[in-house]
Copies of this chain bind each other. A is one copy, B any other.
Amino acid sequence: MTFSKAPEAPTPPWHSVIPADELALYNSIGFGSQSQKPGKAALLVIDVQYRSVSSQPLPIQEAIKEYPTSCGEHGWNAVPHIRALIEAFRAAGLPVMFPHVAPKKAYDGGRWADKAPAVMTIPLRGYDFVEEVAPVEGDILLPKQHPSAFFGTPLVSYLVDNGISTVFVTGTTTSGCVRATVVDATSLGFRVVVPMEAVFDRSQTSHAVNLFDMNSKYADVMPVSEALELLRQADADPKASQGT
């Protein structure tokens, strides 16, 4: 989306964080133009595991007592939006892929454990998928150990093998795995859609600014309703479903 809002759509969350003069500056440079065109799409649902949302929708300050990695109710608010997208992709016969945090082994420390030691001690049940948006038979599972869903996984091979040209990215965190995945996807030449109520994070300031960054440079950030409409258009176009 460009940096004004359509009257009927939800306001992008960055409007309350990025000052007006900075928005105007980015508009004048021409950032935030739309990139999407018809093409076969795939849906990524990133890290929506109990470790990311806790077992119930608590305020985040409470939720981190169960799992320090939890975004609490910010995550639970996104779950119905993610579910709507999963259902739309399944109905259209398009692939749904689940990059997810692999349980840590002792040798998996690396740099991430240096910066956030708490990630090494999440109990195993925290790695279960949130039931409302869990994978089913036929969905593609991608365990990962680093932020980007492309890093150290065969994700790009599945996308090429399926003739995908557009990737819809949902899940968590906006400033972490979602953003790293979006940057890699766009670098690889895929068009990227981020349905904004279907991604979530801890700091709402960082969440907003990361959506701003992604919309300016890497992805088409839009309301879920608009993303669903875009999917219907692509799906209705017989040429589109055959790729670029």
Residues of A within 8 A of B (CB): 17-19, 22, 25-26, 28-35, 39-40, 60-61, 64, 68-69, 105-107, 109-112, 114-118, 138, 140-141, 145-148, 151-163, 165, 175-176, 180, 183-184, 186-192, 202-206, 209-210, 212-213, 216-219, 239, 242-244
Q: When the two chains form their complex, are residues A160 and B180 in contact, meaning their CB atoms are under 8 A apart?
A: no
Say yes or no: B191 contacts A111, CB within 8 Å: yes
- A213 CA to B192 CA, complexed, in Å: 22
Given A183-B148, A217-B116, decide whether A188 and B156 contact each other with a Cβ distance below 8 A.
yes
Q: Chain B's nearest CB lies how many Å from the CB of A40?
A: 8
- Are B146's CB and A111's CB within 8 A? no
For A202, the chain B residues whose CB sits under 8 A away are: 22, 25-26, 29
Are B154 and A151 within 8 A (Cβ)?
yes
* Cβ contact within 8 Å between A33 and B186: no
The reply to whether B216 and A17 form a contact with Cβ atoms under 8 Å apart is no
Which B residues lie within 8 Å of A30 (CB)?
68, 116-118
